[in-house]
Structure 1
Amino acid sequence: MNDEELSGRLREAAEAHRPDRARMLARIERGMAGDGPAPRSVRPPRAVRPWLRVAGATAAVCGVLAAGAFAVTSAGDDTRPRGGRVASAPSATAKAPDSPAAKAPLPPEDGPLWTGGVVDPNSNPYWAQSNVTLRTTEPLSALTVELRVAQTGGVNSTGSWRSLPEPDFTVSVDESGGYLVYRWTLRPGRTVPAGTHTFAGQYNHAEGDRDATGDYVTAHAVRASGGKAAVGDRFGRSQ
């Protein structure tokens, strides 16, 4: 085969293998429209992976610090609106109830009768005893002693006692008008002899030094010889 014949056959073969331009353009359009096969994911080289781990850890730390800063800022913001109010615990030195009875004159002495009230020195920041001293120079055929302990916070009764015989009195304890009220009443047909007698009310209260200036005691009596007497006294601040 001569050179001229070989060149002719090569031209014929090249013409027979011309690319199909229409098919190539169609494939390019499908690829641009997203219809073609999805590209394969490529893993980063090993030399780059430690840097990516450091960058990821740094981003995580920054996220934690940002969240912590937001929490601290929110906790310290006293001006932000709140959903509700928190009730505070009662103060041990809360002001005593302001009742008309507490303002009324309380004569400490009336005829044969005298009374005084004081907080027992053995009281403590959680518990107290209010002592009432009653003196009479004559026997009494009727007597009612009433001790009122102001509800200054957590005040509740733990008991009571008297120096006179227990069977001679009825005793009651209740709450009324912001006071814990102890009442000792002489039973009919009994007599209180002349002398000095003690009545005491015991109670728990809110922790701390309790302000007893709102507490007071009254006593109403009938003399065995006839005639009535009424006395009273206010307490001072407890120890």
Structure 2
Amino acid sequence: MCQGRVTEKALTASCLEESHTKVYKSYVMKDHRGREMPLVFNDSMGVENGEDGKGGVLTADIITAFKGYIKDGAKFHQNSPLRDGDLGYNKHPRLSDEVHCLVSVMHAQRICGLLTQECAFLTKMRDARKAASELGIPHVVLMTHVDMCCPLVHKDLKNMYSSKKIKEAMQHCSNKLGVPMKCIFPVKNYFEETAVDTKTDCLLLDALEKIVHFANDYVESKVVPEEG
């Protein structure tokens, strides 16, 4: 998007049920000239909806990552959380190692189904949001694949702003997770496309701008101003 082309650095699974990511991976954003931007996304294993809470990233590892104790490339284990002394554990995290904004990525078609009843997925999401809130970390939700959720939006992305289905999905997500509507951003993914699209990019860039602002606010709140 920022590089003027479709990229595929963070690989994704074609199946909706299982997370493709198995390690904690950092991705530095680059502009259209390939220059690094002061923006890093940390990708983690997904919050899967396994039986009895099994499957997906552990809540303890999510919280550990918030605090900057997980190094880039650290492998997730579903049997036990990462601890001091384990390979990939960062003993002395800096502010730059911490998570400055929690971004939950959720498929628009799955939101209503996953959040309809109490389940392990919902519990993990709520626990993660609570932990982030206690640490002062802002939380936003990227509601992806909006074009698959509503026929009118599939026809034209401009219809998203008047789509009742999209608004209902956003409201449902807000009610179940406690995320304000203003912090839920519906976006379209580059799924089959091989070239960038202006309407798709506008939605993604709008969400990215808000995320950057929230993250910057968090950093500013952590930095103690110099006296004098």
The TM-score, its normalising length taken from structure 1, stands at 0.23
TM-score, with structure 2 as normaliser: 0.24
Decide which structure has the larger Cα Rg and report it: 1
**Larger fraction in strand:** 1
Structure of greater relative contact order (alpha carbons < 8 Å, 6+ residues apart): 1
